[in-house]
Amino acid sequence: MLNPKTLDYLEKLAAHYDELSQKLQDPAVLKNPNETKKTVAERRQIEDLVEAYRDYRKVRAEIEENQTLLAESDPELRALAEEELKTLGGREAEIEKNIQALLVPKDPRDEKNIILEIRAGAGGDEAALFVSDLFRMYSRYSERNRFRVEVLSLSQTGTGGLKEVIALIEGKGAFRRLQYESGVHRVQRVPQTEGSGRIHTSTATVAVLPEAEEVEVEIKPEEIRVDSFRASGPGGQNVNKVESAIRITHLPTGLVVSCQDEKSQHKNRAKGLRVLRARLLDQRQQEQAKEISQARRTQVGTGDRSEKIRTYNFPQSRVTDHRSGVSAHNLEGVLDGDIDQLIEGAINHFQAQASESILQNTPGQ
């Protein structure tokens, strides 16, 4: 059931919606095209939320009506009421979830592609193997959602792990679905090299950046230094023979991006600039968020990268998200991309925090 503060806010919003509807019947307003347009736009902005609230009120009224029937002496009537309450309870939960989502303003970044960066943390070779596992997990998840994955940069280890991987994930809703994956991921398992069967803990960091368009982040030629060097690692005959790898340094910020996956220096440069734009946009947004959050210590929905967000426990075949409290007991399936339960849990968690923040900062609340 929605809390009293939310209900009070929604009641006032519904009353304001009725006022706007009444205003649109006023001949004086209708004679003024600008005033009419402004009123219609304001009403449309809150229409979905008001409709959801009214649906909620209807369901609550039906729930209360059926709850009174539970006191009836007729067992058949009580049984019908109990069955109806089960259905209504599911409908109520669905509407509440929709209201929580509607309370949070739509993020203009939701439909953007993302730059996914995964790096090994503590744990040496085991951490690098974990990076490989995580990248496979996100790649399989992307396949399930028809997102396209393109590796932009990759650094391998001799043991088959990855020190770092940077990839572009393209698809409608990629940022909306994956934005809260940023943070420290922890794995607990027995490494293959561990003879005594002792469980080791390793970490990897994940960063999810919305891809920046050229119009959003302008990189002037004089602001960057581009150095070329010979690629290293797997790559066939081209490796160490042609200086196709590039390193881009953004002089004003000191940000450095390297790319060596392509045999063409031109393609590596283009990929490197995509990563650099995303990092510059992220840096700008982080700075803005920091300024906004000075008045309140906790940042809502930022997916802070320094935070330990999830633990992958192999002995118990369990994955736990420490923010939402959601646990999945199919670790093998999770690493194969079945992470909808964890993603939905994180989204719901941050939406609830954001809607609570909105209510707290609403005048008159």
- Tell me the per-residue pLDDT of 119-155, one tens digit each, with 9 for 90 and over: 999 888 999 999 999 999 999 999 999 999 999 888 8
- Same domain, residue pair 92 and 133: no
CATH number at residue 181: 3.30.70.1660
DSSP secondary-structure letter at 259? E
**Residue 128 lies in domain:** 114-212+304-355
Which of 289, 312, 332 is the C-terminal boundary of a domain?
289
- Same domain, residue pair 340 and 194: yes
What sign results for the dihedral spanned by CA atoms 293, 298, 301, 304?
A: positive
- Same domain, residue pair 16 and 54: yes
Label residue 304 by pLDDT band (50, 70, 90): very low
- Same domain, residue pair 269 and 323: no
Q: Tokens 């081209």 correspond to what residue?
A: 238
- Same domain, residue pair 331 and 197: yes
Q: pTM of the predicted model, to two decimals?
A: 0.66
- Same domain, residue pair 30 and 157: no
- Same domain, residue pair 319 and 347: yes
Which of 103, 131, 147 is the C-terminal boundary of a domain?
103
**Residue 336 is assigned to a structural domain of this protein:** yes
Count of domains for the chain: 3
- Same domain, residue pair 47 and 119: no
Contacts (Cβ under 8 Å, ≥6 apart) of 303? 179, 180, 181, 182, 183, 208, 309, 350
**Residue 296 is assigned to a structural domain of this protein:** no
- Same domain, residue pair 243 and 282: yes
Q: What is the pLDDT of residue 242?
A: 56
Q: Which of 38-52, 97-111, 130-144 has the lowest mean pLDDT?
A: 97-111
**Residue 365 is assigned to a structural domain of this protein:** no
Q: What is the pLDDT of residue 265?
A: 84
- Same domain, residue pair 135 and 203: yes
Q: What is the pLDDT of residue 294?
A: 47
Q: Tokens 């997990």 correspond to what residue?
A: 137
Report residue 149: phi and psi, to 5°: -110, 130
Whole-number mean pLDDT of the chain? 85
pLDDT in tens, 239-274: 445 567 888 999 989 899 888 877 788 888 888 888
- Same domain, residue pair 265 and 184: no
- Same domain, residue pair 227 and 280: yes
Q: Could you tell me if 343 and 331 are in contact, meaning their C-beta atoms sit under 8 angstroms apart?
A: no
Label residue 306 by pLDDT band (50, 70, 90): low
**Residue 360 is assigned to a structural domain of this protein:** no
For residue 116, give both structure tokens: 């996914």
CATH number at residue 227: 3.30.160.20
Angle among Cα 234, 259, 281 to the nearest 5 degrees reads: 145
